[in-house]
Amino acid sequence: MLRVLQIVQQLLQQNRHATKRDVYYSDPAILKGRVNQALNDICIHFQCSRSSLHVVMQVSTVLTYLPILNLGSAPFCKHGNLTKCINLQGLPVPVHISQVSHICSGADYILLVEKETGKFFQRLVNDKFCGKNRCILLTGKGYPDVATRSFLRRLTDELHLPVYALMDGDPYGLDILSVYRFGSLTMAYDAEVLAVPEIFWLGVHLSDCLDFHIPEECLLPLTERDKRKADALLSRSYLKHLAPGWWYEQSLTCFQAVKLEIEAVSAASFSLLADHYIQSKIQGKGYV
């Protein structure tokens, strides 16, 4: 911890940023497998956020390895340069959120998508969903990193838009959604600046099978791993008291021992998700 703290001090004094990998290679003999825990301990001890240490996520030059967003008509400034997101096929979430300013948008809401796999996210982009429905489209590609959560928090704080989430109807989908709303268990000290309290779970829910004529064959049995994750979620008292609707949906999943993935909505038609499902759920307040 002291070795990492020494590196952090150098970063702050020089006003530089480094990735966790950079920190590790500063002293691999001491820091092997210990960087993340040391950073967490430092944040807890000094009651500060991870970003204030100037240690950031690994930056990749390959776009698909980063959380991807599509801001529709939302521009923002980074290093004083205006970035316009009109008709783009997606942008990486900015790593240094503090360097982003003047965010503005004509969007009506933010659509948070669990994953980019299975061409689901790209399908919405290709269908020009943002332009047709005036929304900001964002994905953390599974469990979100700090940059994604921080940027979503900035968007909600500055644009005051509702956030609707599309997650798999399984224990892991709800766990990912809980990270956005309540924060992660390992970084609880950062929850106040990263958590987004007002998120609506748009779907998918088991009740969607009946409402949108999803074939019964799309229901998948819960694995033993799913069941253990579900039990862990249901044991979280804060989830039951602060998000009772989410807790009920999870208990229903456990009771029926089945799960439903986002892609199942497209079983009847490839265009059902973009053309009908999302807007129908928002307008009919079919979210939790």
Task: Provide the annotated active-site residues.
Answer: 25
Q: How many CA atoms lie within 13 A of 182 on its CB side?
A: 18
Q: Which residues contact 8 (CB under 8 A, 6 or more apart)?
A: 42, 53, 54, 55
Residues 159, 105 contacting (CB under 8 angstroms): yes
Residues 281, 287 contacting (CB under 8 angstroms): yes
- Residue 160 CA to residue 154 CA, distance in Å, equals 9
- Residue 248 CA to residue 70 CA, distance in Å, equals 32
Token digits of residue 72:
């529709």
The DSSP secondary-structure symbol of 263 reads G
3-state helix, strand, coil in the chain (%, to 5): 50, 15, 35
Reference 204, options 142, 283, 123, 259; nearest CA is: 259
- Residue 50 CA to residue 2 CA, distance in Å, equals 16
